[in-house]
Structures are given as C-alpha cells and as structure tokens.
Structure 1
Amino acid sequence: MNIEVNEHTVAPQREVFADKDTLTRTVASRLLQVLRRTIEADGSAHVSLTGGGAGIGTLSAVAEMLRENAETQLDWSAVHFWWGDERLLPARDPERNDQQARSALLDFLVAEHDLPEENIHAAPTSEDAANPTAAAQIYAQQLQAFSAEEGVVVPGSQKVLRLPVFAVMLLGVGPDGHINSLFPGKSSLAVSEVTTVGEEDSPKPPPQRVSLTFDAIHTAQRVWTVVAGEDKAEAVRLAFEPGTPTADIPAKNARGASETIWHIDQPAAAGLA
C-alpha cells in the first residue's frame, strides 16, 4: 500500500519538553489562546480531541488552569468539541474517549462554565450503530451539519469535504505510529474524499471503531500531536525519518492546513537527532 504524505499541508515542527506535565500544560495554554482568538475572529471555534494519556492529560491541564486563573476564561458557549476517533462501545463506557474527556474537562465546563451539552459532539455509540461502517456514516452526517455551505477544500486537491473547520485537531500517537484509529497497514489509510471511516478489526482493543480520515485531518487549521512516554520513541523517530512509508507509520501524515506541531516529552523524543 502506497500512501503519500500530503505535501500541500504544512510540514511539522517539533518541540521537546522535559516531561509530560510540562508538555500537557503548554499545549493546554496554547489551546486556550487559540480558542479565544478564533472566537474573537469567527464567533465560534471547533476543536477535535484525542484520547490517550497525553491527550486526556492536556484536558485535565485545561481544567486546572481554569480553576487557578480567572484570566483564562473564555466564552465556552461558542466552543464545539469533536473527536478524531472513538471506540464503538455503549454510551458511558469508561473506555470511550468522550467519557474520559468528560471526566477530565467537559463535565466541569458544562457545570461551571456554561458549555452547552449540544456543543459536545460525541461519535455514535454501539446503541446508535450496529457496526463501524454505520457509525462512520452517522458521524459524517453530524460533521456535515456544521459545515459551511461551500464545504472545506483538502489542501492541494480538488476534494471538498463537508465538516467544520477545526481551529485545532489534537492527535495522540501510538507506539505503532497510529493516529486516531488509522493503524499501520489497514485499508482505512487509503480511504479518500470522505470525512470518516469505520475500523472493524483494530489491532488495539476494542476492535470496532470510527475515525476521521487523512483528508479530514488535513483540513484542520492546526494539527498538534501530544506524545509522551519512552514507548513512543521509536514511532516518533520513524515519523521523522525521510524514507518511512506512511502505511507503516501513519503519524507521518499528521499535518494541518496552516500549522503542524509535534509536542513531545523527552522520553518520547529519545530517538530524535
């Protein structure tokens, strides 16, 4: 399988932090700043969240900052939350990314900062969809409902997708180099011209999932990876190796339309020059 990196997106910068806490607090601070600027400019802001230790740690850091400092406040009623991928599990299952995000930040925002429940756009549950293909179709419809009429052009192509413009898309990176639920060697890597794809047999349990596609990722204004832990070091190294195939390390194709930043703690960066 030959999956080309989208060279019309912005090449990644990388920033290395001493530890996971410093990494997550830095990304949290930057996220608050971008959301504030986006709301001021556009009236609303859409952000795509990720699971995993660093992704959920970033959300916890946002909650800590809000509790610590009133100057970090913004109009949360203008912020919409989405997910780059989700496990096809029952509602309120603790393994779902949306439930982990709620525990870390979103329930706090609803209770204390006037975030409307309808601004939390969870991907379908196993009660909503019988299989990942059906879940992907439902999630695509949810995304389309918040698209501009003219859609969003995938950089460097004639493809037009119907989804919101994400001010920020947060991505974790697995030890195998996967992002969202786009895993090495899987046919989902080649899915094009649509926003979502189902995964029936994830190598990481649970097996059934729904994910944004590479095309959807590339429409985000800013793509930020948050990567922590020595178990990620080889994947990080390979992602920055010029000859690494995207089919082997999907994270190599994690790129945004106007900005791509890899935020990496020192253990995860151990293999970089």
Structure 2
Amino acid sequence: RKFIQKAFKKDNQLMVVRKTDDELTRYAKQVRIGQERQRFLEALEAEELKKKQGLDLEEKKELYLERLQTLGPRVYDKVHINDRLVNFDYLLDRQLYAAADPYKPLWQRLTFVKPLVARHSDTQEETPAGHYLVRLLGVLGLLKLGYWAGAKEAEWENEACADSPVVEFESEEQIFDMLLNQEKRAVFTYIYVPGGRLALKFLREFEAASHDKAYADIVFMKIHARKHISLTLSKAHARRIFPYAEVYYLNENNQIELVDMAEWHRSRQGIRGFMEEAELVEPLMDPGRVLEQSGSRLMEVQ
C-alpha cells in the first residue's frame, strides 16, 4: 500500500508511466519503479526479520527507561519492565546506606561515604550530626598536616640554600662589575619563576651545580622574574626554551659575550656540557689529554 501511494503521488512524476511518454521515458520510469519496489521489499523483509529476532539492546533500553518513569519511587515490577533476569531490589534497600552496614568496605564505614547507587533523598534523613563532625575534624587534620609538611619542606630548602654560592640578582651593573672589576671568568644567570614545578626542579640542579669546584671562577646568579619584570620580558623572546638560562663571559678581545643555554638539558649534566661548549671549563673527556696521560704512564713503566 505504501508503495502504491508513493507511486501515485502528484509530486512524483517519475514514478507514473503516461500514455504520452515516448519509449525511452517509459523504459526509464519502469526501471525506476522496479528499483523502488525492490528496495521496499528488502526493507520490509529486514523489518520482519528484526521483529522475529526481537528488540535490540538500544530499543530495550529505551523501553525500559520509558516504562520505569511511570513506576512509583519504591515499586519494581519485573514483568512490567520486560526483564526477568535482572533484579534491582538492592538499589531500593535502605540498609545499604546505613553507616554501620557490615557489608560495606572499611574505608566507607570510617569515612561515611555513601555508595554510588545512593540517592540524595536516601542519605539526607539518615546522616546524623556526628558524621558531619567527624568529616569536619578530618578535613581540619588534613589541612594541619599539609601546612606542617609544607613548612618542613621550606625549612629543609632554607637549610640547603644557607651556604649556597648562588648570588641574587640586583641589577645588570652587578654582572659587569663581577666580570670587569672582580675578574670572574663568567656569570651564569637563570631566570626563575617561584612556584613552578619545572622551574623549581632546575633551580635545585642550579644550586647543586654551583658547589662544583670546576666552576670556581664562574658566578651562578638567579634572577627573580617577578621582581625584575622588565628584564624578564626582554629575555623571554619567541621560541626560547624555558627555563631561561644564559652565560656572560669575556672573550679573547676582552669583550662581553652572551650565550644562551638553548637546547641543553636543564640539569647538572646539561650545565656541564653547556660550559664545555662555551670553553669556560675543561672537558671531562678530552681524547688528546687521555692519550697524553696514557702515553706518559707507558713511558714511566718502560
């Protein structure tokens, strides 16, 4: 019936064969009608097969939710929901929401945490004031523990930095004074932002490397980014690798040169490689020096 109604609609002229049509038009319309009928029969057959096999999972879920909305808050009828295998009675058992339930995990009984299946109306009436008091005291205890741990960590950091040779930056004239007047080999600067995990990690590596005897003539200087905003903005150009670190030193012509740490790793090993590349310290593994030492030892043995 649907096929016939669609075929004889006034606005569907391609589905109607008229006497005035020529042979080519008539043949095209007949082919179109045959294709449409074949598509309709295939869809009808698929629908019949679907009805024989039953509803799919999505349709069952929609039917379940639609019929569940018509039920009362404490009513459950498995026949009405058309599901004989699943039992949802435990969702409506108020004993599950009791704090002293022996079947609940220990951490839920101690912290009075309601299960995921609980609703707000199920726990609102049964939560006594003592539970809220325990939660409040627990939160205050955790806050106290956090403040104590933070204070201890800051104390340890201050003790570690008490004898640190790292110099605090004050002005750019301070760098020139160390290079020209105090005759330092170089000044290695690091712009750090307090509070960042990556910046704090490199600051610790920076502090540890400053104790190395190989950098006896090199000044390690840290620059507080928030205290020296204008200098920080002039250094934070595009595509520069963070954290920012660079070295000032005097070249052979007694002129001050500036070299960025660039792609060197922000660690003690990276600092060592950067200093060796800038020829500010002697390389640890110089092949010529190793061969010379080995040859001198062989000469002593002979």
TM-score range relative to shorter protein: under 0.3
More helix by share: 2
More strand by share: 1
Q: TM-score with structure 1 length normalisation?
A: 0.20
Q: Which has the larger radius of gyration?
A: 2
If asked which structure has higher relative contact order (CA below 8 Å, sep 6+), I would say: 1
